[in-house]
Each structure stands twice: as structure tokens, then as C-alpha cells.
Amino acid sequence: MSENVPTITWKVTNLDCYPKYDQETDVVFTVHWDCLGNMTVATGSLSGSTYNSRVYGTTGVTYHSGSSFTPFDQLTEPQVLGWTFDSMGTSQKASYEAAASNAIYTQIDPPVVSPPLPWSPVPPTITVQPVGGIVIVGSDYTFNVAATGTSPLSYQWYKNSTTITGETNTSYTIVSASLNNGGTYNAVVSNAGGVVTSNSVTLTISGSTPISGSIPI
């Protein structure tokens, strides 16, 4: 496909200037440019199709005191592009042109992607994490977890990395907490697509219990 080679064109889109610098006015210090790619396919099934690309950026240029100065209203685009290319260097210029060319080739022959098969199970993702806290002896405390993913989703709660037998729902309630219930808790959610583990959270049990009865007068 030697005929199918993009044409690269450089354009100046804007200039940043110092209003006054070294006794001169409107001295250019930054060039805004476009590196434009264009290609009409000459061979193959896409023959006659036209593709375009654009790479853009800015390049700083330096005015050296004592050098020949061209008034702003007498500048030409080739002159400014010459400054730009001198400043960016040959290799940087070539990399921008390669990027513009590659952008066209990508349009013609997009990269191959491999999305998940539509019938593949979606692994679980936890959307609500359990929350730890402090509970007084004798009070209840509930942990909750929520997840998305392909059904069915399975849940298992753990305390201190040990399975809590029978606790396989989205919530786990400790009824009438005792000091032994203190520890670190988490849930594991699984389905045919994978397994995900929730954050581990700490439950602290306070030994103080509410005082009941009448207040002496």
C-alpha cells in the first residue's frame, strides 16, 4: 500500500506575543499549531475514501536580542513555522507527523478489541460496604453489604477471617451483643463470574450497659 501515504500539512493557528520586549513590539514567544493529516485511499476496497486527522499543540520560540526582527504585521506563516520547527527539533516534529499519520491508519484499520461475550457472567462488584461501629453489651448490631453482577449472587460473612456458619444473606445481625462479638467482619460475594471481598470493618463492644430505674430525689 505504498500509494496510501498521508499528506502532512502544518498550519499556524495562533500566536502569543509580548506587547513590548527589548525595544520591539508584539514579539512572538509561543506558536499554536496544527499538524494535519489527509489521505485519499488509492487502492483496495476503500479506494476513493478520504480520511483526515489533527494533532495540535504549542511550541515556545525565543527572540534573541540583536537579531533581525520582523514586525508582526510582516510575518509569514512559513517564517513562523520555520521558527517552530527549529525550536521543536527534527525528532519531535517527526513524532507529531507520525501521530497524525497513525491516526489516519487507525481510522482505516481500527485496532481489534475483544469485549466480554454477551452471555458471559458479569463478576460481582460491591456497591455498599459494611460499616463498623461501637455497640453496648446487650444491644443489636447489623452489618449490610450490596453488590451488582449476574445472578445468582452468593454471600458469606466472616469474623476474624473465619466463616460465620449460616450467615449467607446481604445482612448479618448480632443479637444481644456480648464482649465475645468484638472483632473484624467482612463479607465475600460470589457468582459464576468471580469473587469479591468487602472491606474489613471492626465492631467494638462496650462493657457499659444502660442504667435503668428511677432517679433518686
Report the distance separating Cα 83 and Cα 42, nearest Å: 34
pLDDT at 114: 84
Q: What is the pLDDT of residues 18-28, one digit of tens each?
A: 999 888 899 99
Q: Where are the beta strands (DSSP E) in 22-114?
A: 24-40, 50-60
pTM of the predicted structure, to 2 decimals: 0.52
Q: What is the pLDDT of residues 152-208, one digit of tens each?
A: 999 999 999 999 999 999 999 999 999 999 999 999 999 999 999 999 999 999 975
At CA 106, angle to CA 105 and CA 110, rounded to 5? Answer: 130
Choices 3.40.50.970, 1.10.10.920, 2.60.40.10, 3.40.50.2300: CATH for 125-206: 2.60.40.10
Q: What is the pLDDT of residues 75-111, one digit of tens each?
A: 999 999 999 999 999 999 999 999 999 999 999 888 7
- Where in the chain are the domains? 7-108, 125-206
Give the range with max mean pLDDT: 3-12, 29-38, 46-55.
29-38
